[in-house]
Amino acid sequence: MPNALYARRLMSAAEAAALIPSGARVAMGLGFSQPPALLAALADRARAGQVDDVSLYYLLSTGIAGQTVLIDELMGRIRPVSLFHSAIERGLEARARAAGRPNPVTFIPTGFQATPRVLREAGVDTLICTVSPMDADGFFSFGTNTDYSKPVSAHVGRILLEVNPAMPRVFGDCTVHVSRITAVVENHTPLLELPVAEPTPNDLAIGGLIADMIEDGSTLQMGIGALPNAVCAALGDRRDLGLHTEMLTPGLARLMQDGVITNARKTLHPGKGVFSFCMGTRATYDYLDGNRDLEAYPVDYVNDPAVIARNDRMVSVNATLQVDLTGACCSEHLNGRQFTASGGQLDFVRGAWASAGGRSIIACHSTAAKGTVSRIVARLDGPVTTPRNDVHIIVTEHGRAELKGKSDAQRARALIAIADPRFRDELERAAREAGLV
């Protein structure tokens, strides 16, 4: 029966894209689950004037979308609705400004945990994404990207899947049955890979400071980039760490392979590493494929602070762009423009703090622009991503500042002490003028 259903739904990318009508509200898979053949076919239809006014909802576009549906000539026919910017959206916006055109990208501020509800209430009616091949029972695995794809698949009327044997099969709550599928397109192509960034000396210094706060038996959440990789690299002598993270990274996978993360002492999903999406190398995907020690769940579960808090000794590690003298963090704006988005930072900040013995750590280099600008500032240049009420520990290469339960004056002095020495006098003056000290 599953094979017969599969055969009836199997078609070309052009035939599948023709099922998306004008005015559709389409959820596109996050990151590396964006389906190249389907998106190229949808772009061809838009270019030919065969479809119009398609709203495309998503987080974190990659070159797959940036070379097909998210190009200047298709703006208007395809309307990007971004919940997390990448270089693709920043480029579209910059070129529109330079040409005197209206901003073609709609941005929706939201936390990652709320994404499935936001998409449902926005009236999203179509899902397009890449999945692993169907199993004998008729289920496709969402592979690297359960996140919002799984919950969206439960309510939309059209599901267009691009089946790729390179997509790892994963376990957990991360499948969709062929009976729910509108169209299947087969496309065997390598998955995109995330280069492993080399840590700088400052990354290594921050990584060491953070690693010193992580005890045996702790459960980890890590963000993306060289700094979290540096933290992972400093944890080689820990025992029985656990994993509950929105993003599975190469550094975290390596800790599992090395026996540092065993998940043996977890209080939630003991014995299992839990994640919602993965961005890594081919080696990461090969490790993930068929690995029953890892389980993927929807982001409205993984990032629910109440769920996160059920992991004792939860440690969340995230990065920010600016911290003001009271501890508020802006992690998404740069030079007055939307740069990324809040993602799951606040979800894990709150969940880790509520955990028994948990710690929420936000890290940043003390300076930017080659040392000419302090990241610790009197006032933020953009929106507050993590409010001062929620911030627990801030770490720079100069030390750590524990802010929970501290007064404004204590916070300001602790943050000035971990700022770059060249900016401390200036920050002291700003704190006095603001009446903080």
Enzyme catalytic residues = 246
Sign of CA dihedral 400, 403, 404, 407: positive
Rounded CA-CA distance 350/249 in Å is: 22
Nearest residue to 314 via CA among 347, 343, 278, 351: 351
What are the Cα distances from residue 207, in Å, to 262, 284, 371? 21, 21, 19
Q: Provide Rg for the chain, Cα atoms.
A: 22
Question: Sheet of 322-324: strands edge to edge?
Answer: 329-330, 322-324, 376-377
- Helix, strand counts (H, E) of the chain: 16, 25
Residue 182 contacts residue 19 (beta carbons within 8 Å): yes
At position 24, the amino acid (one-letter code) is A
Rounded CA-CA distance 377/361 in Å is: 18
Q: How is 375-422 classified by DSSP, letter by letter? A: SEESS-SS--SB-TTT--EEEETTEEEE-TT--HHHHHHHHHHTS-GG
Sign of CA dihedral 38, 42, 48, 51: positive
Nearest residue to 111 via CA among 294, 255, 246, 224: 246
Residue 38 contacts residue 16 (beta carbons within 8 Å): yes
Rounded CA-CA distance 177/394 in Å is: 44
Chain centroid offset of residue 163 CA: 23
At position 71, the amino acid (one-letter code) is I
Angle between helices 226-233 and 250-257 (to 10 degrees): 10
Rounded CA-CA distance 83/342 in Å is: 9
At position 296, the amino acid (one-letter code) is A
Neighbours of 384 (CB within 10 A): 18
